[in-house]
Structures are given as structure tokens and as C-alpha cells.
């Protein structure tokens, strides 16, 4: 097994377990809070710190730090490079602390802005809506330290990635999820039937919020042993705004901040519209659907991209354009081979999956979260291509191109959401899938303009066979599902399980037999 394969296996296994624990956390959250105003208040407030972190500095960390750090180590050597890295780390800590404080101070105004479209649903009770805002504000104030903790976790991940240490980062979220699950179970025991009115101002509400934040702190503590054993002792509190690394981050970060701004504007628009659509927990339905859609991406694509990231930067920095293009195409090919068939099955089986996991096994009614998952799944392949292209452009330090792509994608989301999504959650979410797919096509055009032949892989027979096998898999699963009639409980679970297994077997059969032996052998041997 090659070094890259070992990295991918380590990342994928850790990410898989972390995502499964995250899925359990989502299931427990849905069981405890349901699709209620309290659930929407919690999910809305829990989304804001991550969004604000991305807006303030998270996007810059993800898009520029690793590239700049690896470049400085390659060009300047270890000793000088770590002085530069220390300046960047110190500046980051200052920004994170300020952002955390401002989030706490302005929490009521942030919540008011996120609920500005509530007038779209005239049937909402004004008292419940006001209590929901107050609960969300309480949550947000206790969640404010998450802005700082997200930053510390991202910094730790970048520093460990420099040393090609991936295991701890991929496994650490398990601890966070375990803490959150324990807190949710305790809350359910303490308050079996919570509402925004009954929990407002209570100790139980405070402990639920505090426990959620402490989960992130526990996640950081898990990383400490890896950090201390990774020869990172040269990191010091040192601030030099004239340092080359700081200037590089600020130069690239300017475009990245613009990227994050357009991302957050689009996210605000989607969440605010979802809040205004009305119905049973629309924000929670979108949040849960997005979480399920992200599972295959996070386990497969994110692991592949994290494993090749350092290599992409090094290959491009050393002017090995052919090696860079090949590595990026390998990452794209591997990602799509897993994501496309999973997305096809998710489109067909979204409703029973959501019913089993989030609605106590009752699939007798159509669920908004199921609609959201199915619609998001149609855009998963485009989302995957888009993210691979973004990672490739980050390795090239193409800040303008990245901003242009994100601006195009988010503008598409806002326009489509405004025209289609004001009264239907499914139509609102479809704006996201369509915009990512269009942005992926635009991204391929940019890569071609930059003389990186990633688009050539879409003409390969492998992709056509993959698409045909995935369609056959989805149709087979649909037929198998339609032959049975159970809509609840064990019967629905068996029905969904048989349909899923039948679809997967159909994919393996059609894909294996449609693929030439040489192509299949190369794939199994691990071209990536």
C-alpha cells in the first residue's frame, strides 16, 4: 500500500467513525428536540458560530495557511519558516478572541437578522416566535466561545497536516459528539417534553448550551498529545506584521475574505428564507438534510483531498504541472467513483432514510427533511467536482479565480432561491444543488484556462460506465422498494435495507462488467 493510500485509509476510517458518531448525535438531537421551534432555535444558533468563524478567519485558515506554511518551509527551511508561522498563529489568536467577544455582545441582533423573514408565515404565534428568538439568543451567547475553539481546532489541524499526521484530527470529533450526545440525553431526562416557552430562562437550557460548547473543548484536548509530539515546539507568541508569511496570508486572505462574505450572505439568505417558509421545523429539516448529504462527501472526498493537499502544493510549487494535473484528476476520479452511486441511491431512498432516522420509523407521511435530502443528493456530484477544483486552485494560490467561482455559485443560489424558494423548502434547497452544478462546470472551464487538464477525465470511458451503473443501481433500488408496502417500524427498515442492498449489488454488477479489466484493475490497485 502506497503512502498516499495509507493516508487516505487513515483519514477515511477516522472520518467514517467520526461521521457515524455525528450521525448518532443528529439522531439524538432530532429525537430530543424534534422538528419544533426549540429545535430551530438550537440549530440556528449552533450554525451561527461556525458561519461567523468562517467569515472572520476560518475561510482564510482553510484556504491559505497550509499553502503558505508549506511554501515557506520549502523555500526558507524549518527554522526561519517556524518564526513566520508563529507570527501567523499569534495574529490568528488575536482575531479569534475579538470575534468571540463581539459574537457574545451582538448575539440578540444576530438572531434578529437571521429571523427577519418570519413574516412569510402568517400563521406563526407571536409569543412563540418571541420566545424562540430569546432561546436562540441564549444558545448563541453560550455558543460564542465556539468561534475561538473552531479556530484553535483548524490551526491544530493545519500544523499536524504539515507533519503529515492525519489520524488524531480525523478521530477527535468523536469525543465532541460523545459529549454532545451525553448532554442531549441528560436534557431529555430532565425535560421530557421541552418547548421554547417551558425552557426559557431555565438552568437546563443553560447546561444544554454549555455542554455543546464543552464538546469542542474536549475535541481540542484530544489533539494535544499529537501536537506535543509533532516537533511543533518552535511555535511562539510572536507578532511581526511585516513577516513574509503574514503578508502572504493577508494577500491571499483578502480574496478569501470576499469568498467567505459571499458564502455567508448566501447562507444567511437560505436560512432566513427557510425560517420564513414555515411548517414543522424548516431550518431543522434543511440542517438535517444537509448533514446526511455531507456524510459521503466528508468520509470520501474530504479524506482524499486532505491526503493529497500537501502533495498538490508541493508539485505546483516545484513547477511539476503534469504531476499536479495527474494527482488532481486522480483525486477527482476516486471521489466521483464513490459519491455518484451513493447520491443516486440517496435520491431514491431519502424519504424512508429520514423517516427511520428522524421520525421514529414512521414513513407514512412525506417529510420535509426527506425532500431536502433528495434534492441535495442530486447536487452532490456537482458539489464534489466544485470542491476538488477549489482545492486545486488553492494549491495554485489563485485567489481571484476562487472568489470568482464562489461568487458565481452564491449569486446563483441567491437568485434561484429568491425566485423559486419563497414558499417551498424543496424549491429553496434545489437552488443550492443547481448552483453548485453550474459552478462545477464553470470551474472546469477555469482549470482549462489555467492549463490544467482536469476536464479531460470527463471524456474517459470510466465516467460513462460509472454513470450508467449508478442509474441502473437507482432504478433497481426503486423497483425493489416498490415491491414492498411497509411504511413504519421494522417493516420499513427491512424494506429500505433490501432496496439499498439490491441497489448496491446492482451497481457492483453493472460497474464491474461494464468496465474493462485493465481499467478495473488500475482502480482496485489504487491509482489514487
Q: What is the pLDDT along the chain (528 residues), one digit of tens a residue?
A: 555 556 666 666 777 788 788 888 988 888 888 778 888 889 888 888 877 777 666 666 666 777 777 777 777 777 777 788 888 888 888 988 998 999 999 999 888 887 766 544 555 667 777 888 899 999 999 999 999 999 889 888 888 877 767 677 778 889 999 999 999 999 999 988 888 888 888 899 999 999 999 999 999 999 888 888 767 657 778 887 887 778 877 776 666 677 777 777 787 778 777 766 655 667 777 887 888 888 788 777 777 777 777 778 878 877 788 888 888 888 888 889 889 999 999 999 999 988 888 777 777 788 888 888 899 999 999 999 999 898 888 888 787 888 888 889 989 888 888 888 666 778 888 889 999 999 999 999 988 888 777 777 777 777 888 889 999 999 999 999 988 878 888 888 899 999 999 999 999 888 877 655 445 444 444 444
Task: Check residue 299 and report its DSSP letter.
Answer: I
Structure confidence at residue 104 (pLDDT): 93
Rounded Cα gap, residues 21 and 322, in angstroms: 39
Q: How many CB atoms lie within 10 A of CB 49?
A: 24
Query: b or e along 383-407 (b: 16 or more beta carbons within 10 Å of the residue's beta carbon)?
Result: bbbbbbbbbbbbbbbbbebbbbbbb
Q: Is 241 exposed, middle or buried (0-12, 13-18, 19+ CB in 10 A)?
A: exposed
- DSSP-derived secondary structure letter, 41: H
What's the pLDDT score for residue 212?
92
Q: So what's the pLDDT on residue 488?
A: 83
471-499 per-residue burial string, b: 16 or more CB within 10 A, e: under 16:
ebbbebbbebbeeeeebeeeebbebbeeb
Give the C-alpha separation, 287 to 263, whole Å. Answer: 16
Please give the grid coordinates belonging to residue 185: 440525553
In this prediction, residue 176 carries a pLDDT of: 93
- Whole-number Å distance between alpha carbons of 125 and 118: 11
User: Where do the domains of the chain lie?
Assistant: 13-257
The span from the CA of 500 to the CA of 480, in Å, is 9
CA distances to 35, 148, 225, 390 from 236, in Å: 47, 18, 18, 31
pLDDT of residue 440: 93
Q: So what's the pLDDT on residue 52?
A: 76
Check if the beta carbon of residue 296 is closer than 8 Å to that of residue 339: yes
Residue 334 vs residues 34, 297, 442, 469: alpha-carbon distances, Å: 37, 12, 21, 15
- Other Cβ atoms closer than 10 A to 126: 8
pLDDT at 198: 87
244-277 and 425-449 helices, crossing angle to 10°: 150
With beta carbons less than 8 A apart as the criterion, state whether 49 and 150 touch.
yes
- The residues, any chain, with a CB within 8 Å of residue 239's CB and separated by 6 or more, are 87, 90, 91, 94
Q: What pLDDT sits at residue 518?
A: 43
pTM score, two decimals? 0.71
Amino acid at each position: 500500500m502506497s503512502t498516499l493510500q495509507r493516508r487516505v485509509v487513515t483519514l477515511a476510517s477516522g472520518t467514517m467513525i467520526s461521521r457515524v458518531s455525528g450521525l448518532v448525535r443528529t439522531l439524538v438531537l432530532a429525537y430530543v428536540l424534534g422538528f419544533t421551534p426549540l429545535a430551530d432555535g438550537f440549530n440556528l444558533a449552533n450554525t451561527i458560530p461556525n458561519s461567523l468563524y468562517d467569515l472572520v478567519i476560518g475561510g482564510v485558515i482553510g484556504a491559505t495557511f497550509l499553502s503558505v506554511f508549506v511554501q515557506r518551509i520549502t523555500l526558507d527551511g524549518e527554522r526561519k519558516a517556524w518564526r513566520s508561522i508563529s507570527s501567523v498563529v499569534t495574529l490568528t489568536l488575536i482575531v479569534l478572541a475579538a470575534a468571540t467577544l463581539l459574537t457574545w455582545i451582538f448575539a440578540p441582533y444576530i438572531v434578529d437578522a437571521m429571523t427577519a423573514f418570519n413574516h412569510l408565515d402568517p400563521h406563526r404565534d407571536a409569543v412563540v416566535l418571541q420566545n424562540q428568538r430569546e432561546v436562540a439568543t441564549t444558545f448563541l451567547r453560550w455558543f460564542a466561545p465556539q468561534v475561538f475553539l473552531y479556530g484553535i481546532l483548524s490551526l491544530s489541524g493545519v500544523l499536524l497536516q504539515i507533519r503529515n499526521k492525519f489520524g488524531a484530527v480525523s478521530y477527535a470529533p468523536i469525543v465532541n459528539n460523545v459529549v454532545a450526545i451525553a448532554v442531549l440525553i441528560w436534557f431529555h431526562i430532565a425535560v421530557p417534553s421541552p418547548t421554547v416557552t417551558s425552557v426559557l430562562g431555565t438552568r437546563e437550557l443553560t447546561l444544554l448550551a454549555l455542554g455543546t460548547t464543552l464538546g469542542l473543548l474536549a475535541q481540542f484536548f484530544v489533539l494535544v498529545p499529537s501536537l506535543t509530539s509533532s516537533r511543533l515546539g518552535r511555535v511562539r507568541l510572536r507578532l511581526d506584521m511585516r513577516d513574509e508569511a503574514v503578508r502572504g496570508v493577508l494577500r491571499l486572505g483578502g480574496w478569501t475574505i470576499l469568498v467567505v462574505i459571499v458564502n455567508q450572505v448566501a447562507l444567511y439568505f437560505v436560512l432566513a428564507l427557510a425560517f420564513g417558509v414555515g411548517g414543522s421545523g424548516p431550518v431543522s429539516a434543511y440542517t438535517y438534510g444537509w448533514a446526511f448529504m455531507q456524510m459521503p462527501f466528508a468520509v470520501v472526498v474530504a479524506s482524499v483531498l486532505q491526503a493529497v493537499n500537501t502533495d498538490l502544493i508541493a508539485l505546483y510549487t516545484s513547477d511539476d504541472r503534469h504531476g499536479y494535473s495527474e494527482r488532481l484528476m486522480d483525486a477527482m476520479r476516486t471521489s466521483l467513483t464513490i459519491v455518484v452511486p451513493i447520491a443516486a441511491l440517496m435520491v431514491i431512498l431519502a424519504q424512508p432514510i429520514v423517516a427511520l432516522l428522524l421520525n421514529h420509523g414512521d414513513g407514512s407521511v412525506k417529510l420535509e427533511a426527506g425532500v431536502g435530502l433528495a434534492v441535495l443528493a442530486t447536487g452532490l456530484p456537482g458539489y464534489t467536482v466544485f470542491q476538488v477544483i477549489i482545492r486545486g486552485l488553492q494549491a495554485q494560490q489563485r485567489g481571484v479565480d476562487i472568489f470568482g467561482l464562489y461568487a458565481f455559485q452564491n449569486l446563483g443560489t441567491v437568485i434561484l432561491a429568491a425566485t423559486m424558494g419563497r414558499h417551498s423548502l424543496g424549491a429553496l434547497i434545489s437552488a443550492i444543488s443547481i448552483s453548485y452544478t453550474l459552478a462545477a462546470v464553470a470551474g472546469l472551464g477555469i482549470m482549462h484556462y489555467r492549463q490544467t487538464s482536469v476536464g479531460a477525465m470527463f471524456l474517459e470511458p470510466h465516467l460513462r460506465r460509472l454513470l450508467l451503473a449508478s442509474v441502473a443501481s437507482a432504478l433497481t433500488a426503486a423497483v425493489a422498494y416498490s415491491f414492498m408496502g411497509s411504511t413504519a417500524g421494522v417493516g420499513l427498515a427491512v424494506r429500505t435495507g433490501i432496496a439499498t442492498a439490491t441497489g448496491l449489488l446492482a451497481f457492483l454488477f453493472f460497474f464491474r462488467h461494464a468496465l474493462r479489466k485493465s481499467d478495473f484493475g488500475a482502480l482496485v490497485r489504487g491509482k489514487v
